[in-house]
A and B are shown apart, each in its own frame.
Chain A
Amino acid sequence: MRKTHVLSLLLLVLLAFPLFGDGLGNFDLGFTLGTRSHFFEKDDTAKLAVNYGLTIGVSDVWEVDVTASSQLVPGFFADGGLQVMLQRSLLGFRNSGKNIAGMGYNMLAGFGVGFTTYNQYGKFYPTHLLFTLTPAAVGSPSLRKRERLLTLTLGINLYTQQFSLYLDIITDDFYVLGTYKDHPLPSPTASPAP
């Protein structure tokens, strides 16, 4: 599968989001920026990497994260990968889609697919099965910002039969849709006359 096929697949996934509700960003949509360390993957030589992309709320408890990770040091954007993750909040609803905020503290767990060149062909293939756990997510889409801390992701490289571990010490989510600004409180009704 070539890179264009992967991008086409992603586009299809994004286009399919209206099936989940009233449309993309029905619940929330945000940008993601965070750290990324990759352990036990012999082909990954990054000493510093950045993780960035989109986090898309598809229901009150489910979200899809489409993120890229790029090596910054030693080679500036010399290597990287792409992850598509489906995650569920574990400690209550992440966003109500209404004027009731989601939980300010949450945990997330999920699974997904990682696309890298870490295979014997050196091509950009779907190489990894990913299982992820975020023990602390502070903030919520409704509050416009969320910080995910110490996210651990187990990766299984199906080509090399190798296990690896991703550690994202901190990931910031900046929400642009589905925040309290999109769910204003109803205007107070006049109290009945005594």
Chain B
Amino acid sequence: MGKRSLAFLFVVLLAVSSLSARSFGYSLAFDGEKTESNAFGGASLGLVWKPWEREWCNPSFSVSASLGTDMAKRFAVPSTTFAVNVDLFRTLNHPFAFVAHNKIAYDPSLTVGMQVRYDEVVRPALYLSASPFKFSQPDFWYEALSPFGTWSSKGWSWGVTLFRFTFLCL
């Protein structure tokens, strides 16, 4: 497939997306990570694509970059993550209705992906995460207290995403 065909497909995809529910968005998260030899804290910025609206096992795709400071208080960009998120189920009948003014769905999710790490040597890593407290409205997701872990040639590291806000805008 040539470059022109790819561009055409992309334009068609964007044009069609306006006819359906919003499926492209961006995210902001506050997170921290402990590695074997260091720790990072800061924010993650990401892009999200959610092509379907399935009630069970609904997938979405994301790419995000984390940035912040390390233990020596130096600015750092420790990683970029490419991930597939799967909402296990979506329900309006849940005990967490108090988290929002409007009706909000509860859809806990699991995430698996590949991470490119820039701390020490540049290397790939396996990324695993769970969002037990994920809530969604048609164009807004809200996640809290999501643990994650990564495995690379340097061993395991772990972290917590305290909050993640995702806005679907296209």
Q: Which residues of A contact B (CB under 8 A)?
A: 33, 35, 37, 45-48, 50, 72-74, 139, 143-145, 169-170, 172, 174, 176
Contacts and interface: CB of A to CB of B under 8 A. Distances in A.
Contacts, number: 57
B98 A74 contact: no
A73 B99 contact: no
Interface of B: 30-34, 39-42, 68-71, 98-101, 144-145, 159-160, 162-163
Given A72-B32, A73-B32, A144-B98, A48 B41 contact: yes
A143 B144 CA distance: 21
Nearest to A139: B101
27 contacts: A33-B144, A35-B30, A46-B41, A47-B32, A47-B33, A47-B39, A47-B41, A47-B42, A47-B68, A47-B69, A48-B32, A48-B41, A48-B159, A48-B160, A50-B145, A72-B160, A73-B32, A73-B39, A73-B40, A73-B159, A73-B160, A74-B71, A139-B101, A144-B101, A145-B101, A170-B163, A176-B98
B31 to A, nearest CB: 7
Contact of B31 (A48, A74, A143): A48
Contacts of B33: 47, 73
A89 to B, nearest CB: 19
A50 B101 contact: no
A37 B70 CA distance: 14
A144 B70 CA distance: 37
A182 B41 CA distance: 40
